[in-house]
């Protein structure tokens, strides 16, 4: 079935056609008809499967048909600022020829402009739980007329501690509504939340045998923890025109790696939860547009965020949660493009690698590094006064020269 055959608003079809979409993805094919019928949906689908459009297209259609006054009729809850911005953009793009108005609201920025926009009227609100709860509690946002509630990336929202915010928010919603619940994974806690808010849902599960795109080549390099920065330096300098996304475990690590790259003359950016929202928006724009080609990030950027043309994903640190590996590497090899995922695995991270391989049910190819190549990487760094092995060699050579001279 092609999009042109769907019974949806012609103005939305026009946007879909402009985007070049011909046939729906699996999640879109299974979700759109059920959402259009007003069914509750519980969908389990990995990142990159097209799930945003799977709920955006039917929601825009249903609200485009509504003749009621301008009021918030649908709310989409998402875990991060970046996802709120991105999903708002998707709704804007798909609904640009309709009269449906979408507004994104999130924390980390002044709420006054968001309050002003709410007063001007919106049909759909895309929001992070904290800011949504704040604006509702303050009386700036009325959810009493909500027709559709969407929880997107629900598993990540729970991981980030938003369970109470979600439960509190349900008090402000009408009892009779359509609820769409989207998650990349399912466990007992997610099931408990899902079945407490959906009614007789249509359950959809898109679980490809291999959760990672076939367009991605994976490899792992066994590297000591303190030597990782030298191998990252070499990779970047050997691929000067490529866009490289580097994942680390914490925001402190992100800044340390950033400083290490600066010391060797490599321009890069960092993205983590410690940055102000305006900085985060600026960083993402600079990386997306290619103004900067290297981004060092924590897992705040691994989930759902669409960054075009990433050539390499580097797991500088292995993720603590195995499935986050899939979300990380999913930032490359998107659509029909090829991508490479390179992992630096220190001896103390071997158990994490085993867990990742168990989750994917396959081994990651090991790139053997010979002793000579390993030492060459350490010796060729441009980091001043930190390449201790090279300094040791030079000191030993100097001592040997002096010894030889003294013997004469």
* pLDDT tens for each residue of 282-314: 888 899 888 999 999 998 765 656 788 899 999
Q: How many domains does the chain have?
A: 2
Would you say residue 72 has pLDDT above 60? yes
* HEC readout, the chain: CCHHHCCCCHHHHHHHHHCCCCCCCHHHHHHHHHHHCCCCEEEEECCCCCHHHHHHHHHHHHHHHCCCCCCCCEEEECCCHHHHHHHHHHHHHHCCCCCCCEEEECCCCCCHHHHHHHHHCCCEEEECHHHHHHHHHCCCCCCCCCCEEEECCHHHHHHCCCHHHHHHHHCCCCCCCEEEEEECCCCHHHHHHHHHHCCCCEEEEECCCCCCCCCEEEEEEECCHHHHHHHHHHHHHHCCCCCEEEECCCHHHHHHHHHHHHHCCCCCEEECCCCCHHHHHHHHHHHHCCCCCEEEECHHHCCCCCCCCCCEEEECCCCCCHHHHHHHHCCCCCCCCCEEEEEEECHHHHHHHHHHHHHHCCCCCECCCCHHHHHHHHHCCCCCCCCHHHHHHHHHHHHHHHHHHHHC
Is residue 171 located within the same domain as residue 224?
A: no
Is residue 229 located within the same domain as residue 326?
A: yes
Would you say residue 186 has pLDDT above 70? yes
Is residue 362 located within the same domain as residue 222?
A: yes
Q: Is residue 242 part of a domain?
A: yes
Please give the average per-residue pLDDT across 379-405, as a whole number.
64
Would you say residue 350 has pLDDT above 80? yes
The pLDDT assigned to 212 comes to 64
Q: Is residue 386 part of a domain?
A: yes
Would you say residue 270 has pLDDT above 70? yes
The pLDDT assigned to 277 comes to 75
Q: Is residue 401 part of a domain?
A: no
The pLDDT assigned to 116 comes to 94
Is residue 44 very low, low, confident or very high in pLDDT (cuts 50, 70, 90)?
Answer: confident
Compare 5 and 301 and report the one with higher pLDDT.
5
User: Whole domain around residue 382: which residue ranges?
Assistant: 216-391
The pLDDT assigned to 178 comes to 96
The pLDDT assigned to 108 comes to 79
- Token pair 């629900």 is found at 154
The pLDDT assigned to 47 comes to 66
The pLDDT assigned to 187 comes to 78
Compare 96 and 326 and report the one with higher pLDDT.
96
Is residue 51 located within the same domain as residue 156?
A: yes
Q: Is residue 211 part of a domain?
A: no
The pLDDT assigned to 301 comes to 62
Cα 132 to chain centroid distance, Å, stands at 21
Compare 228 and 321 and report the one with higher pLDDT.
228
Is residue 129 located within the same domain as residue 17?
A: yes
The pLDDT assigned to 304 comes to 56
Compare 305 and 365 and report the one with higher pLDDT.
365
Please give the average per-residue pLDDT across 324-353, as a whole number.
88
State whether the Cα torsion 221-223-225-231 is positive or negative.
negative
Is residue 104 located within the same domain as residue 164?
A: yes
Please state, rounded to an integer, the average pLDDT across all residues of the chain: 87
- This prediction's pTM: 0.71
Is residue 68 located within the same domain as residue 23?
A: yes
Q: Is residue 406 part of a domain?
A: no
Compare 163 and 59 and report the one with higher pLDDT.
59
- Contact in structure between 109 and 177 (CB atoms under 8 Å): no
Q: For 161-175, how does the pLDDT look when each residue is reduced to its tens digit (9 = 90+)? A: 788 888 888 889 998
């Amino acid at each position: 079935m092609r999009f042109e055959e769907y019974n949806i608003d012609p103005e939305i079809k026009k946007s879909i056609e402009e985007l070049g979409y011909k046939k729906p993805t699996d999640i879109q094919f299974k979700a759109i008809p059920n959402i259009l019928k007003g069914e509750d949906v519980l969908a389990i689908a990995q990142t990159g499967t097209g799930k945003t459009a799977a709920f955006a297209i039917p929601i825009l259609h249903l609200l485009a048909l509504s003749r009621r006054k301008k009021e918030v009729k649908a709310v989409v809850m998402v875990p991060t600022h970046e996802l709120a911005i991105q999903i708002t953009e998707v709704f804007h793009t798909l609904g640009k020829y309709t009269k449906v108005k979408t507004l994104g609201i999130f924390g980390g920025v002044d709420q006054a402009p968001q309050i002003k926009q709410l007063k001007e009227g919106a049909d759909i609100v895309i929001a992070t739980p904290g800011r949504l709860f704040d604006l509702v509690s303050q009386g700036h946002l009325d959810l009493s007329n909500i027709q559709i509630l969407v929880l997107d990336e629900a598993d990540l929202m729970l991981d980030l501690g938003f369970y109470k915010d979600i439960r509190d928010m349900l008090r402000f919603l009408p009892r009779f509504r359509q609820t769409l619940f989207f998650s990349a994974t399912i466990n007992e806690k997610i099931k408990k939340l899902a079945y407490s808010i959906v009614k007789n849902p249509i359950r959809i599960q898109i679980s490809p045998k291999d959760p990672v795109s076939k367009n991605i080549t994976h490899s792992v390099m066994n590297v000591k923890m303190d030597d990782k920065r030298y191998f990252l330096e070499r990779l970047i300098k050997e691929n000067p025109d490529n866009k490289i996304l580097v994942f680390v475990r914490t925001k402190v690590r992100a800044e340390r790696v950033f400083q290490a790259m600066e010391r060797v003359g490599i321009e890069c950016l960092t993205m983590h939860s410690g940055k102000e929202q305006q900085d985060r928006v600026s960083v993402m724009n600079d990386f997306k547009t290619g103004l900067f080609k290297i981004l060092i990030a924590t897992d705040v950027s691994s989930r759902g965020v669409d960054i075009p043309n990433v050539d390499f994903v580097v797991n500088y640190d292995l993720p603590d949660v195995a499935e986050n590996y899939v979300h990380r590497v999913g930032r490359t090899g998107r659509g029909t493009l090829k991508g490479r995922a390179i992992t630096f695995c220190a001896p103390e991270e071997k158990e994490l690698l085993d867990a990742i391989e168990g989750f994917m049910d396959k081994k990651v190819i090991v790139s053997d590094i010979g002793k000579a190549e390993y030492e060459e990487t350490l010796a060729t760094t441009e980091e001043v006064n930190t390449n201790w092995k090279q300094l040791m060699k030079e000191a030993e050579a100097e001592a040997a020269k002096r010894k030889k001279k003294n013997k004469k």
